Amino acid sequence: MRLSNGEVLLRWPLAQHIITAGWTYTDGSAHNAIDLRAAVGTPVYAAEDGTVDWLQAWDGHTKTGMQSYGNAVRLRHAAYNGGTLQTRYGHLSKVLVAYCQAVREGDLIGYSGETGNCFGAHLHFEVIYKGTRRNPLYWLDADFETASAAVRAHLGSYVSVARPAAEAALQTLTIGPMTAGDVATFRNLAQQLAVPCTAAQA
């Protein structure tokens, strides 16, 4: 989702958020993605509104090149600061979307699995910005656990997206009529909370 300040907050692609591999593997080698614990058949959800701009069916045996992703889906989201923003979901057991299909954030797009170059079932999740893989933790909130201290030590550097309190439960509140002094008080409060505020003249 796009926050009112224009920043991106992606939705976790699984209901459970346990990271089993971070930006680097525990041996320090590059991963450039995160892996999330998921048994075969775990529902995988779109991280944001978007369009399926690439997908792949695994040939059932190749574990190198693009086939290392196994059954996989990539979504293209709205541009961010003029750059293309995409997310990719790998090692799926089943893909439920078609090329060019539009999806909404939270839509079921497939089921996790262990296809491609995969040792044990999990979801491989990438964020691609301007054509380069970025640390997904920059685009997600801090609501996650790690499988071990070693994994936690290899998350890379990142700053989680802070979910603004006003957007956690967005409501419309209509108050009135009120005095000019009260209007000023409410406007100040709205400003402090960073919520949109409109005043209608009677």
CB-based contacts of 102: which residues, under 8 Å, 6+ apart? 49, 50, 51
Q: How far is CA 73 from CA 52, 58, 107, 148, 167, in A?
A: 7, 11, 13, 28, 29
CB of 21 to Zn ion, least distance (A): 6
Alpha helices, H only, the chain: 149-152, 165-168, 180-193
Instruction: Name the site residues for Zn ion (rule: CB under 5 A).
Output: 33, 35, 124
- Residue 139 or residue 200: which is nearer to Zn ion going by CB? 139
The minimum distance between CB 176 and Zn ion, in angstroms, equals 54
User: Minimum CB separation from Zn ion for residue 32, in Å?
Assistant: 9
Min dist CB 43 to Zn ion, Å, is: 18
Nearer to Zn ion, 2 or 124 (CB): 124
Q: Give the nearest residue (CB) to Zn ion.
A: 124
Of the pair 35, 48, the CB lying nearest Zn ion is at 35
| Sign, Cα dihedral of 105, 107, 109, 113 | positive
Q: Which is closer to Zn ion, CB of 33 or CB of 52?
A: 33
Q: Which residues, in sequence order, are CB contacts of 174 under 8 Å at separation 6+?
A: none
